[in-house]
């Protein structure tokens, strides 16, 4: 046990040396929802594409020191100032119990799916009381840590930094990592590379509620602007983007019936309904402050698209 602890300290020390602002991947969103709705978002704060061939994720179950690891599919990479959304691989609509299907909204947001069979790999089946890490495969260095390795906090960790007794009690109502979605604060520029003495999620995370997936696929960070993805299925374009004059045009290959604008923590700011006859609409966004937002566009066939919108 002493040798194991010394090894963990050595790895943590190396990780501390390597971690610099905006120089390394880190977790930008954490989803621990109902049933199998589990997802992790990884953000690339650098100016270059990063291959995930030498990265892995780990789940330290219920205070364990020995984790379940999972690697990324060959060829997986994250573009500069972009994110990768990883979800638990439960997409069979006939699944029940442990195999219950993810919500459609989460499936739509995911880039890759991992760990379809629990008995083969348990990493993505994390609960609120499991520490989750992003690590290097080649040397075991911690790139980022959610939770505290070696601690079982009960249902989950909370923001009660001054009273560890309540932190470990199941009846505490303020568990942040249980049945909740957390988004990394925009001021955070690197991951946690040393196992913390105490994990207080409120220091680096915002909590936005149970089964909230609105913010997945984007991350607002001081390290750099988020790239705007191109959706080829609906051919939806938004212009100008960034928006500078108070109005924005949305043009699609299908008829638009509704557009909702959310802020980066999932709050609905603007909703506009249209008469269902236009594939091109213009919206007034003068009420929005400068920053990053998400536009959800609903079409007449009940499908939808989401896009990032930058307001100058």
Q: Which two tokens stand for residue 300?
A: 């007449």
DSSP 8-state class, residue 177:
S
152: which residues sit within 8 A by CB, 6+ positions away?
62, 63, 129, 168
Alpha helices, DSSP H, located in the chain? 2-18, 104-109, 164-167
List pLDDT tens digits, range 218-246: 888 889 855 444 443 457 788 887 888 89
The predicted pLDDT at position 6 comes to 42
157: which residues sit within 8 A by CB, 6+ positions away?
128, 129, 147, 148, 167, 175, 176, 177, 199, 200, 201
What would the mean pLDDT of 71-84 be, rounded to a whole number? 94
List domains and CATH numbers for the chain: 2-209 (2.60.40.1260), 237-311 (2.60.40.1220)
| CA distances in angstroms from 115 to 61, 91, 237, listed in the order given | 15, 12, 34
Q: How confident is the model at residue 76 (pLDDT cuts 50, 70, 90)?
A: very high
Output phi, psi for 2, to 5 deg.
-60, -40
């Amino acid at each position: 046990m002493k040798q194991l602890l010394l090894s963990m300290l050595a790895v943590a020390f190396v990780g501390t040396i390597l971690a610099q602002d905006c120089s390394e991947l880190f977790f930008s969103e954490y989803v621990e929802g109902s049933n199998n709705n589990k997802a992790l978002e990884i953000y690339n704060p650098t100016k270059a594409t990063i291959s995930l061939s030498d990265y892995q994720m780990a789940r330290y179950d219920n205070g364990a020191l020995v984790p379940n690891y999972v690697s990324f599919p060959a060829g997986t990479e994250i573009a500069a100032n972009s994110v990768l959304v990883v979800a638990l691989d439960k997409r069979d609509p006939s699944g029940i119990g442990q195999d219950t299907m993810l919500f459609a909204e989460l499936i739509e947001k995911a880039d890759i799916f991992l760990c379809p069979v629990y008995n083969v790999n348990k990493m993505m089946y994390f609960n609120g009381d499991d520490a989750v890490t992003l690590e290097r495969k080649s040397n075991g260095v911690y790139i980022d840590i959610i939770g505290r390795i070696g601690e079982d906090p009960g249902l989950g960790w909370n923001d009660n930094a001054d009273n560890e007794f309540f932190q470990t009690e199941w009846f505490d109502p303020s568990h942040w990592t249980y049945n909740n979605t957390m988004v990394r604060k925009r001021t955070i520029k690197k991951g946690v590379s040393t196992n913390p003495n105490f994990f207080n999620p409120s220091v680096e995370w915002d909590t936005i509620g149970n089964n909230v997936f609105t913010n997945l696929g984007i991350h607002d960070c001081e390290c750099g602007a988020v790239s705007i993805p191109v959706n080829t299925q609906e051919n939806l374009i938004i212009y100008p983007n960034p928006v500078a004059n108070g109005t924005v045009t949305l043009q699609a290959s299908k008829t638009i019936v509704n557009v909702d604008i959310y802020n980066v923590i999932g709050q609905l700011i603007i909703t506009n309904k249209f008469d269902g006859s236009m594939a091109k609409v213009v919206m007034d966004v003068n009420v929005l402050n400068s920053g990053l937002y998400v536009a959800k566009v609903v079409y007449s066939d009940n499908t939808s698209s989401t896009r990032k919108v930058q307001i100058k």
